[in-house]
Copies of this chain bind each other. A is one copy, B any other.
Amino acid sequence: MARAPSRIDTARPHIPDQVTSLDDVRHYSHVHRISGLADGVFSIAMTLLVLELVVPGHGSDAELLAKLDDLYPKFLVYAMSFVILGAYWVGHAIQFHYVIRADRPLMVRTVMFLMLVSLVPFSTAFLGDNPTSRVTIGFYALNLALCGMLMHGMLLYATKDPLMLNDVFDKRIFRGVRIAYVLGPALYVVAFLVALVSPLAGFVICIAVPLLTFFPNPFWGKIYSRFTRRGLPDDPADKP
């Protein structure tokens, strides 16, 4: 069964023939270096906050429970950071399933993206300490919005060059992933604007966004399943 032609497909009518030519891949690195650096930075950023969990030391059962209780906010911030960074890691892993070659500018974008990623534990702890401050909500929203925008930037950059793309990547996936990338930063802007009126409501939105997009749920699942699961629905827009 022939695949429906799409804007991306028509932009690379010469694939996969030319990909096999060594000359074409001369200036592309395989993305495994990007994966290696990203997995390293993500794993360090994720586990960094464990260092804040100071082991309570000796004590009676009641004292130890009280000390665990004191650590409760730090446990929460730890779990939140893990989930948020996990959401971006999953997004990154999926994007680089479709992007299989990299040039220098894409690596530069990766480094800038990872710089913002490793700030997430700081932003999260900052927000966790001051859940109703416009400063912390603004900082947190800005950090995560920039992460999303740089992910979007990497996707737009890579999809301009068909030689960088996995042959299975097509227009519908592209559209679906872009919607997710545009939606994220937009929701953080909303969170910040809401926080100007009601800091608590802004905080709730900030927390809800990564939770909704990370854990499988009917709302997000419906949007997401359209483009990342088997059994893609027939999309009229793809018809010639």
Contact = CB atoms under 8 A, between A and B. Distances in A.
Per DSSP, are chain A's interface residues mostly helix, strand or loop, or mixed? helix
A22 B135 CA distance: 48
A89 B234 CA distance: 42
How many copies altogether?
4
Interface residues of A, number: 81
Most buried by B among A58, A61, A90: A90
Interface string A84-124: 00100110011011000001110110011011001101100
Interface stretch (A47-55, A144-152, A200-208): A47-55
Contact of A130 (B40, B59, B134): B59
Interface of A: 22-30, 32-37, 39-48, 50-51, 53, 55-61, 64-65, 68, 78-79, 82-83, 86, 89-90, 93-94, 96-97, 103-105, 107-108, 111-112, 114-115, 118-119, 121-122, 125-126, 129-130, 133-136, 139, 167-168, 173, 214-216, 224, 228-230
